[in-house]
Chain A
């Protein structure tokens, strides 16, 4: 026990030191790998830099790239595509996911097997998801045309070659991959509900409809908001599936904002202009993220416990 008094002073030093030694390595990596690129995108957005040209000799444009962006009908077009895509996928995924969770929340035999199966689409690489659905939607050998013809007598469609049908195809693919995400989050939330409340509402004579819309869903409101906002951000993150399935075409019917940045940078090779659009993307995602932090901050509420 003499050790205790002896080590008092060094331990005080250690206690003021350690928090920063614990967090510094992670901060450095995030600064270098995430924040520096974000600032680099800001920086590049003021230059006219093309692939193959020396960055040091790239002309400084000031805010010209941003002026051009605001006046660029293509940017508004892909923004509109992105919003439509987000609207349809998120509306359908939230509705379907919540409906399925309500349908299947009862603990039943084999529940874990079914849950395992339901998270499989989430684990498939976006590149592979794009490949699988490009094959299924193929006009000539795709299985979708085959079954639509065999069961409903529908003529074969050139799914990925028609603007409206291609848009439908990427929405459908997204729903396949992401409805499970909503489903699992909601079902976990429902099962975490205290059973007394639900029982009490039954005793009070609430019917099936009232129980769902007046008791259960309001109680998992914060979970629903987080799931919604996470999906909202994902709409502005992904591009691989569309890149593989359609490349953004036909026209720009399936070109989401992220994919547009990629195509601008590496297809039309305008890196500076692509960076300006990146800044727009950052601002949009930042606004949504701030909404998440204000409405439901998991770290804050947990540290209050």
Chain B
């Protein structure tokens, strides 16, 4: 009894310590975003007890182009997520269920293209923009994000499709369902958690991505990370304002994490553990 209590105490102390390390930097950002310039420049850490001010947020929301950045980010992240899930879902289904020539090659190359470093895309993306002149077009960015996310989405959804018993589909086919009916009416309801995980990961990449967004967007099509980086100037950084911007950027992925942590962990480990 005493021993288990001690062990539990040990466990919880370790857990709380780790949780603090994970959270502290994020909290520092949030706290700093509510400080006025004098407090920020003071350099004395104040974790909680200071008079919070909204002036940084006010500046960002009214004087910056935050609403425009936000709109662009939402458009690109949401549309690339939807397209990725649709195309990736079809492809994963075919790889998991249908037998066709080139299936193994397709599966392997999907894993390989997943590894393409974004830095490699930077120069060709820039070349594309300068050659075609389709600068500052959100559709181009959406297309690249869809391409970047598809291999992972296919890989993830493949695992989820594999888990569904084949008998379900066979029964539906015997009853006269077409492949598309099987896909949408029989399988989709069973795949919602798989699609949720894929959606969170796809959204997260598209929402956070910086390099391609920087190269492929213009004055009117900048996304939030590009907007935030724009606050870094040669004359110095306005920490309060940039931290407010950072806090606003981090909110959607953090909310997702809180609501779907279980699924996220399942998805993150699906490939590794079941392999």
Contacts and interface: CB of A to CB of B under 8 A. Distances in A.
Interface in B42-84: 42-45, 83
A137 B253 CA distance: 25
Nearest to B232: A244
B46 to A, nearest CB: 10
A23 B123 contact: no
Contacts of A153: none
A25 B23 CA distance: 41
B118 A135 contact: no
B185 interface: no
Nearest to B239: A135
B34 interface: no
Contact of A23 (B11, B90, B275): B90
Nearest to A28: B87
A143 to B, nearest CB: 5
B268 A123 contact: no
Nearest to A189: B273
Interface string B217-259: 0000000010011001000010100110010011001101110
A30 B151 contact: yes
Nearest to B224: A125
Contacts of A289: 111-112, 115
Contacts of B273: 185, 188-189, 192, 223
B126 interface: yes
A29 B147 contact: yes
Contacts of A202: none
Nearest to B200: A123
**Interface residues of A, dominant DSSP:** helix
B112 A18 contact: no
A165 interface: no
Contact of B127 (A55, A132, A240): A55
Contact of A118 (B18, B83, B179, B274): B18
Interface string B101-122: 0011011101111011111111
A23 B8 contact: no
Contact of B28 (A119, A136, A259): A136
B266 to A, nearest CB: 8
Nearest to B229: A127
Interface residues of B, number: 106
B199 interface: no
Contacts of A278: 119-120, 123
B138 interface: no
A210 B55 CA distance: 58
Q: Which of B111, B237, B249 gathers the greatest number of chain A CB atoms within 10 Å? A: B111
A243 B213 CA distance: 14
A163 interface: no
A281 B23 contact: no
A221 B49 CA distance: 48
A125 B253 contact: yes
A103 interface: yes
A141 interface: yes
A147 interface: yes
Contacts of A141: 40-43, 239
Contacts of B108: 293, 297, 299-300
Contacts of A214: none
A132 B253 contact: no
A266 B201 CA distance: 29
Interface string B1-36: 000000010011011001101110110110010000
25 contacts: A14-B179, A26-B154, A29-B146, A34-B113, A34-B151, A112-B262, A124-B250, A125-B207, A131-B243, A135-B243, A136-B28, A142-B43, A176-B21, A180-B22, A184-B269, A188-B269, A189-B273, A227-B272, A236-B117, A239-B118, A258-B119, A259-B119, A296-B275, A299-B158, A302-B162
Given A37-B120, A103-B14, 12 more contacts: A34-B121, A37-B125, A108-B12, A125-B208, A188-B272, A223-B275, A244-B232, A261-B123, A262-B119, A265-B123, A274-B123, A299-B111
Interface of A: 3-4, 7, 14-15, 18-20, 22-23, 25-27, 29-30, 32-38, 40-41, 44, 55, 100, 103-104, 106, 108, 110, 112, 114-121, 123-128, 131-136, 140-143, 145-147, 176, 180-181, 184-185, 188-189, 192, 222-223, 226-227, 233, 236-237, 239-240, 243-244, 257-259, 261-262, 265-266, 271, 274-275, 278, 281-282, 285-286, 288-290, 292-293, 296-303, 305
